[in-house]
Amino acid sequence: MLFNSSNNNIIITMKQLLRQITIVLVTVLMFNMNLLAQLPKESPEDKTKRMEWWTDARFGMFIHWGLYAEAARHEWVKKRERITDEDYQKYFEVFDPDLFDPNDWAKMAKNAGMKYAVITTKHHEGFCMFDSKFTDYKSVNTPYKKDIIKKWVQAFRDEGLKIGFYYSLIDWHHPDYTIDRVHPQSASTDEEYKELNKGRDMDKYRKYLKNQVKELLTNYGTVDIIWLDYSFPGKNGKGHEDWDSENLLKMVRELQPGIIVNDRLDLLDKKGGWDFTTPEQYKVSKWPEKNGGKVSWETCQTFSGSWGYYRDEASWKSPHQLIELLAESVSKGGNLLLNVGPTARGMFDYRAQDRLKAMGEWMKYNNRSIYGCTAAPAEYPIPDNCLLTYNPKTKRMYVHLLDYPMGALTLKGFEGKVKYARFLHDASEIKLTKPRHNVTHQESNEAGDIMLKLPVVKPNIEIPVIELFLK
Ligand code: GLC
């Protein structure tokens, strides 16, 4: 009730003050609850700069290692065989990788030509390879007793490799993680799900997940990459709300401003919600695009099909296929993250070692066609059975001969554009000839073509590469 004008003024001022205080309080509260979280803004140029080392590196090692290495029949064994926590416990009790020597692993990665490595700190099974304050389910509590990630980080950094952490958003061991369609105890009816999830509290799991990511990004120095895996929205699935992805990512960026983040947080339409896309176990048909623009990408691939060590798997890719996969990824502007699943004693399987060696042998002579390279400018047609990569800084083009031609190679549309040509592996000159018209025994007679004269015998290189100096 207002009695006179001066009282009136006072009451209005009081009202305004109260409103202001309420606004301030609500804002503070929302900030505390992280409801106003914004992902840091970044210009496209700054993003390119932040990701430059990764884009130039092109080749990294993925490592899937956990208790599932003991079962040795897929990292999803717990789900595939619907194993209960009690029955899975035996792997925890005997986990003791006595031959684990991360220095050896780091050397193998480096010798293969890899520039970075990403290791599973926790996979879907929920077992932590690092010493976390928030769980007992970790390597330090097994017979092995040590923080695996700590040793690994040190060794890989010492070899000059950049380091990345894979962390599974999914957790098949945490008691508060609700049972969903990919969980080992997945159900068939809504009723069953309801029953199974009584007492489980995703809010608690969200806190756990955030706390662990915080530990990983606080206790191990600079972390170059984080690989969060994965979202599966929809019925009985999980997406960004379940992980509180936006706030999680905000924390990640705050803790490690230079970090590079994959795209599995279910934030695909969010600006700043991811740095690169992750085609898994297939070859992209062309440079992936989003909203009409090319995006950074990295294909993750296995040697033999599964990610964790799988003793009886016989479907190992050949060195030729793997080198082709690497060159092809670069020829479409992407990276390759090639996976090793170490054994439960801490060794790389001999077949993995063989392939890493073969890739290293190739990379020793040909890495110039990989590092710092990307897709060739569109004006250069790709010759049959070849892959083109291009280094924009040195203006050199690399022709990868997937199927070695006999005596000559035609480059259509290259006339007048090449200064000099040579094999990359031994720097031996390759003669260029002009297109000859009216020849009977030369296939190429079109204007604009050039011919490279090649030895009939294929050089002793899995996939020979020709280096073209462009004008
Ligand atoms: C999938 C699988 C997983 C693997 C990952 C690698 O998300 O669930 O086992 O770690 O792909 O990209």
Mutate to test the pocket of ligand 1, among 181, 232, 297, 307 (most ligand atoms within 8 A of CB): 307
Q: Which residues line ligand 1 (CB under 6 A)?
A: 64, 75-76, 229-230, 280, 300, 307
Cross-strand partners of 433 = 451
CA 272 to ligand 1 center in whole angstroms: 23
Ligand 1 atom index nearest CA of 75: 9
Provide the token pair at 425.
């592996």
CA distance 424 to 418: 15
Provide the token pair at 465.
């590469």
φ/ψ region of 128 (left if φ > 0, alpha if ψ in -120 to 50, else beta) reads: beta
Query: Going residue by residue through the chain (471 aa), what tens digit of pLDDT does each one get?
Result: 333 444 555 555 667 767 777 666 655 555 444 444 567 789 999 999 999 999 999 999 999 999 999 999 999 999 999 999 999 999 999 999 999 999 999 999 999 999 999 999 999 999 999 999 999 999 999 999 999 999 999 999 999 999 999 999 999 999 999 999 999 999 999 999 999 999 999 999 999 999 999 999 999 999 999 999 999 999 999 999 999 999 999 999 999 999 999 999 999 999 999 999 999 999 999 999 998 999 999 999 999 999 999 999 999 999 999 999 999 999 999 999 999 999 999 999 999 999 999 999 999 999 999 999 999 999 999 999 999 999 999 999 999 999 999 999 999 999 999 999 999 999 999 999 875 655 555 555 577 899 999 999 999 999 999 999 999
Whose alpha carbon is nearest atom 3 of ligand 1? 307
CA distance 297 to 288: 7
CA 71 to ligand 1 center in whole angstroms: 17
Yes or no: say if 297 and 336 are a contact pair by the CB < 8 Å rule.
no
pLDDT at 11: 53
CA distance 119 to 142: 19
Enumerate the domain spans of the chain. Answer: 54-372, 376-470
Q: Which CATH number fits domain 54-372: 1.10.150.20, 3.20.20.80, 3.20.20.140, 1.10.287.1080?
A: 3.20.20.80
Which whole-number Å values give the CA distances from 253 to 36, 50, 180, 198, 273, in the listed order? 16, 12, 29, 34, 10
pLDDT at 337: 99
Query: Which H helix or E strand runs over 340?
Result: strand 335-340
Q: Which positions ≥6 away from 207 have C-beta within 8 Å? A: none
Fold designation for 376-470: Immunoglobulin-like (2.60.40)
Which whole-number Å values give the CA distances from 41 to 45, 208, 216, 254, in the listed order? 12, 27, 24, 12
CA 68 to ligand 1 center in whole angstroms: 13
Ligand 1 atom index nearest CA of 281: 12
Which whole-number Å values give the CA distances from 17 to 7, 13, 25, 28, 247, in the listed order? 15, 6, 12, 16, 32
431-433 and 450-453 as β-strands: parallel, antiparallel, unpaired? antiparallel
CA 305 to ligand 1 center in whole angstroms: 11
Cis ω on the peptide bond leading into residue 230 (within 30° of 0)?
yes
CA 437 to ligand 1 center in whole angstroms: 54
CA 463 to ligand 1 center in whole angstroms: 29
CA distance 379 to 388: 12
